[in-house]
Structure 1
Amino acid sequence: MFIVYFIAIVFITVVNCDQSIDVLDQDGVFTVNITMKDFETTKEDQYMYIQYKIPDEELFIIGFLPLTNLTIAHHVVTFACPTPYSNESFWIGNKPCNGPTVILHDWSYNIPTLALLPKDVGIAVGRNTPNKYIVVNVHYLLILKGDNSGLQLVMTRKPFEMFIVYSIAIVFITVANCDQSIDVLDQDGVFTVNITMKDFETTKEDQYMYIQYKIPDEELFIVGFLPLTNLTIAHHVVTFACHTPYSNESFWIGNKPCNGPTVILHDWSYNIPTLALLPKDVGIAVGRNTPNKYIVVNVHYLLILKGDNSGLQLVMTRKPCKYHANTLLSGSSDIKLQPNTQTIQVPFSCSYRGQLVSFFAAAVHTHMWGRVNSLYRVRNGNVTLIVKNSPKISQAFNLLSSPIDIQSGDYLIGQCVYDNNDDRVIVVGDTHNDEMCNIYVMYSYIPENITSNQQTIYRPPFPTCWNNLVPNMTKLIPEDSVIFPPISDEDQTDVDESTSSSTTTVEVLKSTTIKNIDNFTSADTPKQTITKQFSFHHDTLVIVWTSLIIILILFVMLCYILYIRNRRQVTRFNVYAINVDNSDTSNDSMFTNWTNRQNKFKRLEFDIDEENPSSY
């Protein structure tokens, strides 16, 4: 019987100073995320402290993953102590703890890095130690809104036999222009490869940048992905594997990653950077004895900016994996969304002929008009749901509720559902003004060796399921596939904002080119206030701003007219006051003076002439 392994993806659950525990199923390792939610600074160089109470059990910290970047924070420092400085979940100040304090980790002057301790080494916290609390300090650089910075702890309950230390071996990402650094983590021979740009400058919006990495001539396996960017910089980061890259240059601008067969390994979009780890004994084969000789990383930039270092960190191992993994790309390019139309369905389908595979994780992807994507298996007329999710909630890989096996003779059917509230037709395309219909599915399988010229070649059994190849099968798509999937209360706010109109992008002033900053990395927009989201279409925004400017001009003109009129009245009152002592102050005479202004002026002019005869 085929044993299915599943992926464990570390999701950064952001709630206001709450922590989430996500089981990685890697020898009992789990993660704790200590983060803010939509925090707003009130000044530059503000120090924010967040506390986490360690459970009353023997635990060990074996890794750190800062969840921020240098355009937001100068540093992130992790402390351990018996008593935090404040009883609040977070506080602003310059002190983390009361009493003895231990510094466990410090991140600064680099893009976010995963730092793991060597095998059988951990930092003891919790029971039988003085370390009852973890306090994370974020030193903010700028005045900003909607920030979710913090730290992810990698922890385990497994006791260590050798020794326990209070210092950590930090894996630094060495960033050179499209060069890669290999940092040995010494965790069962796992190492990392960082494929990033250095101080890259885009020349227009929606620019596609490709970065290549030549895989060494040895049998290697990818076991994890860590995108090094965020949604204010990039719409998505896609990782490809192929035999020959499109260009011989280390990086290039365009719309093509490779020449010849291309496999999509991982896609990140519409989420904060997440570390995705494959389970034990499962890996994506690359290098020797595979057609995957190069890794090409595509960063789809949103804005015009300078000094960007976006890219991807690969977690790799030389240890052979019993089960291989790969990613299926399913979807359609037959997209034409009519204006002001709701519930537009774009179906796709295919048949499968190949070895047994098992789907265990999936990610959906559309642009701003997507409502819900769904994928189903059809076997002997029976329809089984594989994944149904809204791209407005998440476009990161999510575990399936249970693995779904696909065998030869099965069909895959699915669709993307859209709502177009705009006054124009939306078609398929690469920019955020166009649309896409993608569902990525990770699957595991037992590799079948293909011998060619006395060499064993590993080939993925199910690379694509594209367009509507079996249209009769799409009639089996359930009617409820158009309905927005159930969501948690935590996601409700984001969904309400994203469905308020057709546009759901992070608010950045697109007319402002991001200036170059020393040590600038994947940025959230430096030197300006950031808010969560805005939902104006470009044309609507122009109309609104034009209307506001016209109203402002009219208001200024009205104020000026009232000012001139008031000055004339004041002048008249001053003239009246010249001879107020000689004027009759009875009610009748006062009334006569006010109602017969012409006579009054003549009398005043005559008096002035007699007093100043030489003025003319």
Structure 2
Amino acid sequence: MVFGHMFSLLVFVVFLTFSKLSWCSDLRKYPFMMPDIHPYKDDFYVCTSMEMVPEKNFYIVGFQPNATMNVVHHMLLFGCSDIPTKEPYWDCGEMADSEPDGRLTKASPCQPGSHVIYAWARNAKTLQLPEDVGFLVGKDSPIKYLVLQIHYSKKFPSSQTDSSGLFLVYTERPQSKLAAVLLLVAGGRIPPKEITYMDVECRMTENKVLHPFAYRTHTHSLGRVVSGYRVTRENGMNHWHLLGKRDPLTPQMFYPVFDRTPIMQGDKIAARCTMDSSSRDRYTEIGQTNNDEMCNFYLMYYVKDGSPLEMTSCYDMGPPNSDWSKNSDLDHIPHEEASSLY
């Protein structure tokens, strides 16, 4: 491609010559891997980056994980307008440790202007985008860098390193539909010995038509169900259209959405994580370690005209301060459906 990672020009040219995929002559694969990382502490978040060639456009059309859940807790791929450091890799666990430990540069994955492109956990499989759909990076995109973030739950023995990552499937052939990801996040605090609902919703204010095609859920160990909806307003009442629902402890890959009806300006997107702390004697905070929790619903979509949403994520405070029932704009809430797998 195209990306200027850590490879020499010679190796890069040889790779491009032999990496064409058999099913389509203009598709290529690029290996974006950790450069032999040594996770020296528990809950270690590490980032590495690659820079786009500035005078070209590239379209990422598929993701092939090269990782296993017994080594990697999860991976995130960010698209960034700029990055905070040019180090080959850095400590990017913003919430895991408040202070740097002096062994690596500590910084966020991106400077302001980040876009989540892909996420992986629990041995999720390869993702291939629909025909003519791609993530635009490079010349005509705000994405000038890609950053791979990996969370290692446990520190490695002193001599062991890791090079997990992704193979990016890409083309230089323009795609007629541009892909993006909208991330819904609920915060809050989960009390012990209870079933807790963590809710988030956001209104589509931009004049865009979104075509949803995949979703992904993410929690840690307390998650039982994560569901997401497109919410429309008709005849004075809300109508809830299920986009996706999943047990988040199954492979955390992107799955096809249940309803591909376009999402329009004025619609809402809402998500709920049902958390079960019945076996836990303490409060659980939102955070990045295994002792914490997360409530994330990823919606992958494309637009046929123009660019994707400027909004890349939305956030609600979560319990006990915020939930769907406390939002006066939401009615006819499908509590039972949203909180059960059946």
Cα distance per residue 1:54-82 (max 9 Å; x no partner): xxxxxxxxxxxxxxxxxxxxxxxxxxxxx
Alpha-carbon distance in structure 2 between the residues aligned to 1:289 and 1:352: 24
Shift of 1:176: 6.5
Shift of 1:274: 1.5
Which of structure 1's runs of 4+ aligned residues deviate more than 2 A?
A: 175-184, 458-462, 468-477, 481-484
Residue of structure 1 in register with 2:333 after alignment: 477
| 2:316 paired residue among 467, 470, 478 | 467
Please tell me the residue identity of whatever aligns with 1:332. A
Aligned pairs (5 A) from 1:232-247: 232-247=70-85
Please tell me the residue identity of whatever aligns with 2:20. L
Shift of 1:394: 3.0
* SS of residue matched to 1:404: coil
Cα distance per residue 1:567-593 (max 9 Å; x no partner): xxxxxxxxxxxxxxxxxxxxxxxxxxx
Q: Structure 1 pair 373/423, CA: closer, same or farther in 2 (3 Å)? A: same
Aligned pairs (5 A) from 1:53-64: none
1:320 paired to 2:169:
no
Cα distance per residue 1:368-391 (max 9 Å; x no partner): 001111111221121211111110
Kept in 1, the 8 Å contact 2:178–2:308? The answer is: no
* SS of residue matched to 2:113: strand
1:447 paired to 2:300:
no
Alpha-carbon distance in structure 1 between the residues aligned to 2:309 and 2:210: 10
Shift of 1:395: 1.4
* SS of residue matched to 2:260: strand
Residue of structure 2 in register with 1:205 after alignment: 42
Aligned pairs (5 A) from 1:97-246: 181=12, 182-183=15-16, 184-185=19-20, 187-217=24-54, 218-246=56-84
Shift of 1:324: 0.7
Higher-Rg member (1/2): 1
Cα distance per residue 1:479-534 (max 9 Å; x no partner): 21454314xxxxxxxxxxxxxxxxxxxxxxxxxxxxxxxxxxxxxxxxxxxxxxxx
Aligned length, in residue pairs: 300
* SS of residue matched to 2:229: strand
Kept in 1, the 8 Å contact 2:241–2:259? The answer is: no
Aligned pairs (5 A) from 1:297-376: 297-305=148-156, 306-333=160-187, 335-341=188-194, 343-354=195-206, 355-376=208-229
Aligned pairs (5 A) from 1:262-277: 262-270=114-122, 272-277=123-128
Alpha-carbon distance in structure 1 between the residues aligned to 2:8 and 2:215: 29
Alpha-carbon distance in structure 2 between the residues aligned to 1:425 and 1:178: 50
Alpha-carbon distance in structure 1 between the residues aligned to 2:124 and 2:276: 27
Alpha-carbon distance in structure 1 between the residues aligned to 2:251 and 2:337: 17
Q: Structure 1 pair 482/325, CA: closer, same or farther in 2 (3 Å)? A: closer
Cα distance per residue 1:445-496 (max 9 Å; x no partner): 1231xxxxxxxxx45454223216982245543121454314xxxxxxxxxx
Kept in 1, the 8 Å contact 2:202–2:268? The answer is: yes
Please tell me the residue identity of whatever aligns with 2:214. A
* SS of residue matched to 2:249: coil
**Aligned residues: CA RMSD:** 2.2
Shift of 1:253: 1.1
Alpha-carbon distance in structure 2 between the residues aligned to 1:321 and 1:446: 10
| 1:429 paired residue among 282, 287, 290 | 287
| 1:286 paired residue among 121, 133, 137 | 137
TM-score (norm 1): 0.46
Q: Structure 1 pair 276/429, CA: closer, same or farther in 2 (3 Å)? A: same
Kept in 1, the 8 Å contact 2:273–2:339? The answer is: no
TM-score (norm 2): 0.82
1:395 paired to 2:252:
yes
Kept in 2, the 8 Å contact 1:347–1:474? The answer is: no
Q: Structure 1 pair 351/176, CA: closer, same or farther in 2 (3 Å)? A: closer
Higher RCO (CA < 8 A, seq sep 6+): 2
* SS of residue matched to 1:350: strand
Alpha-carbon distance in structure 1 between the residues aligned to 2:262 and 2:239: 14
Q: Structure 1 pair 460/352, CA: closer, same or farther in 2 (3 Å)? A: closer
| Consecutive unaligned residues in structure 1, runs of 5 or more | 1-174, 449-457, 487-616
| 1:415 paired residue among 272, 281, 284 | 272
Alpha-carbon distance in structure 2 between the residues aligned to 1:474 and 1:336: 22
* SS of residue matched to 1:260: coil
Shift of 1:273: 4.5
Alpha-carbon distance in structure 2 between the residues aligned to 1:389 and 1:473: 26
Residue of structure 1 in register with 2:91 after alignment: 253
Residue of structure 1 in register with 2:296 after alignment: 438
Alpha-carbon distance in structure 2 between the residues aligned to 1:237 and 1:460: 23
Alpha-carbon distance in structure 2 between the residues aligned to 1:198 and 1:281: 32
Considering fraction of residues, name the structure with more helix: 1
